[in-house]
């Protein structure tokens, strides 16, 4: 952390986001582009429906993850822009003018509020989305990765597929 006057500028969220990005880059390829088939072909309608539903869940959770990542990244960009603007304004504030000082303090308070929203809302939401996505990818990897689906049976299962949504 860096201390500037009475304000504290934190940088802790970046590590968690970097870890989340690493999890993303490793995960989706299992569900989206399975590698060579290493295990036996799945011929059970239950197993096939499980894999098809997990594929749907992964796609849904990846979309949710993108939304949360965009919110987090958007707040990060807004914070960076606000910091630059404040740094430009700081030397220009007339300390003898109470209105100018109050206006500058208001901008500092707005910056603190954005940082709090990023750290206390956007980051935990993003981390939860990463965990949820990673959980589904792990389930898919365990049950389905490297195993081909019987094409004829998979098509029959798709026609009546009903997936329960879960946590």
Question: Which are the contacts of 98, defined by CB distance < 8 A and separation ≥ 6?
Answer: none
What 2-9 contacts at long range (C-beta under 8 Å, 24+ apart), as own/partner pairs, is 7/108, 7/111, 7/112, 9/83, 9/115
Mean pLDDT for the stretch of residues 22-30 = 41
Distance CA 56, CA 33 (A): 14
Q: Mapping DSSP to helix (H, G, I), strand (E, B) and coil, where does residue 54 land? A: helix
Q: Is the pLDDT at 26 greater than 80, yes or no?
A: no
Distance CA 13, CA 27 (A): 21
Question: Which are the contacts of 32, defined by CB distance < 8 A and separation ≥ 6?
Answer: 58
- pLDDT attached to residue 40: 83
Distance CA 147, CA 151 (A): 12
- pLDDT attached to residue 77: 98
Kindly report, residue by residue over 47-85, the tens digit of the pLDDT: 999 999 999 999 999 999 999 999 999 999 999 999 999
- pLDDT attached to residue 39: 73
Alpha-carbon separation of residue 48 from 56, 62, 65 (angstroms): 12, 21, 25
This model's pTM is above 0.85 = no
């Amino acid at each position: 952390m860096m201390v500037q006057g009475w304000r504290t500028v934190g940088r802790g969220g970046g590590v968690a986001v970097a870890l989340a990005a690493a999890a993303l880059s490793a995960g989706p390829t299992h569900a989206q582009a399975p590698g060579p088939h290493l295990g036996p072909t799945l011929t059970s309608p239950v197993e096939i429906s499980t894999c098809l539903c997990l594929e749907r869940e992964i796609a849904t959770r990846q979309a949710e993850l993108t939304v949360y990542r965009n919110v987090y990244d958007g707040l990060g960009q807004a914070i960076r822009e606000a910091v630059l603007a404040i740094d430009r304004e700081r030397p220009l504030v007339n300390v003898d003018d109470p209105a100018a000082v109050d206006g500058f303090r208001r901008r500092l308070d707005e910056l603190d509020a954005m940082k709090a929203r990023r750290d206390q809302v956007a980051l935990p939401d993003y981390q939860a989305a990463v965990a949820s996505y990673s959980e589904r990818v792990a389930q898919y990897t365990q049950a389905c990765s490297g195993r081909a689906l019987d094409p004829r049976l998979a098509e029959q299962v798709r026609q009546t597929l009903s997936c329960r949504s879960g946590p």
